[in-house]
Amino acid sequence: MQGGMWVRLADRHGEPGVSCGVDGLTFGFTPMLERAKTRLGQSVWTVRAPNELSETLTKAYNIAVDVASKAETLGRIAERLNRNDLAMAQLMTLHLITPNTSPRAGDAGLMTLAAHLGSISLLKGFDPDQHPRWPAGAAGHQGGRFRPAGSVDANPMPHPGNDTSVVSDVLPGPASKHDRCVQQCLHLLPSPSGDLQSSEFRRCYRECMGRLT
Amino acid sequence: MLSRMHGEVDLKRQFAEHARDHALKAISELSALLVAGESEMPKPEFQALKQAVASIIGLIERDVLSSIYAKHGDLDDLGRP
């Protein structure tokens, strides 16, 4: 349980939440991976377009979701499934920490869900660097709660979506702003206009990084 | 990156232009690789390549070009919005 919300894998496809099995990774009935053929004709799992997944999750949670920061982890889950390493794929899926729908009724439940999605970099437009949390075990039982930006945190709380205590060799570290912006703009490569200087991607990346004023 | 590596060293205009051209050439080469790879590579491998190229172009933009443009905004090939 994190932030007052239980997280578990769904037992089978079609159940609320995320399930991971030999037949892929699904959110409810919605596949998050798809099959593709390699040049040698081998069928492999690949990640569906992040914008499609974001739309699906947005509808499921009824909150604007952006999966860009999870695309890399989803890719690693696909790799594990391609290696028939189901156990690790399921562990990594669990570490996505995607809450089961639906939130508890009422504004409080919605706020809890939004805070949770934000803390694992799934809330669209939410920058966890701008909303730091108190570390686990902090005085006053406030571990995990948001702390004022700029306050001293001598023992930073690990990013819950990327807790490396179990599978540190395969789980990525906290997504940096660079990583998030790359994911957000990835669809602009190769350049839609054929521009070899990738102007569309670079503009998008700059805007995302806040360089354009 | 350039300014971070060398403190507040002023990038002389001639060198700044030179550096920008090299950086843009690197981006063009990477972009050309993607264009060629899209039709030649299996989708999963292409997606991995695309991810890597995107990250590198982003780093060039963030760590090289932005340092140049901070001093010489008129050299910015994308201009201002």
B23 assigned to some structural domain: yes
The predicted model scores a pTM of 0.43
Count of A-B CB contacts under 8 Å: 87
Provide ipTM, 2 decimals.
0.86
d(CA A173, CA A133): 17
d(CA A36, CA A48): 10
d(CA B59, CA A189): 15
**Chain B residues whose beta carbon lies within 8 Å of the beta carbon of residue A39:** 41-42
What is the per-residue pLDDT for B23? 96
Region A121-126: mean pLDDT is 61
What is the per-residue pLDDT for A161? 38
Contact assignment for B43 to A37 by CB distance below 8 Å: yes
What is the per-residue pLDDT for A112? 63
Phi, psi of B28 (to 5 degrees): -60, -40
Among the partner-chain residues A44, A179, A189, the one whose CB lies closest to the CB of B50 is A189
Query: Above 70 in pLDDT, residue B18?
Result: yes
What is the per-residue pLDDT for A100? 52
Number of domains in chain B: 1
Query: Above 90 in pLDDT, residue A140?
Result: no
Confidence of residue B21 (pLDDT cuts 50, 70, 90): very high
B81 assigned to some structural domain: no
What domain range includes position B38? 2-6+18-74
Phi, psi of A65 (to 5 degrees): -115, 145
**Chain A residues whose beta carbon lies within 8 Å of the beta carbon of residue B50:** 186, 189-190
Ranges A14-28, A60-74, A166-180, B14-28: which has the least confidence = A166-180
d(CA A20, CA A92): 10
Contact assignment for A182 to B58 by CB distance below 8 Å: yes
When mean pLDDT is compared over A3-12, A22-31, A92-101, A181-190, the highest value belongs to: A181-190
**Chain B residues whose beta carbon lies within 8 Å of the beta carbon of residue A190:** 31, 34-35, 38, 50
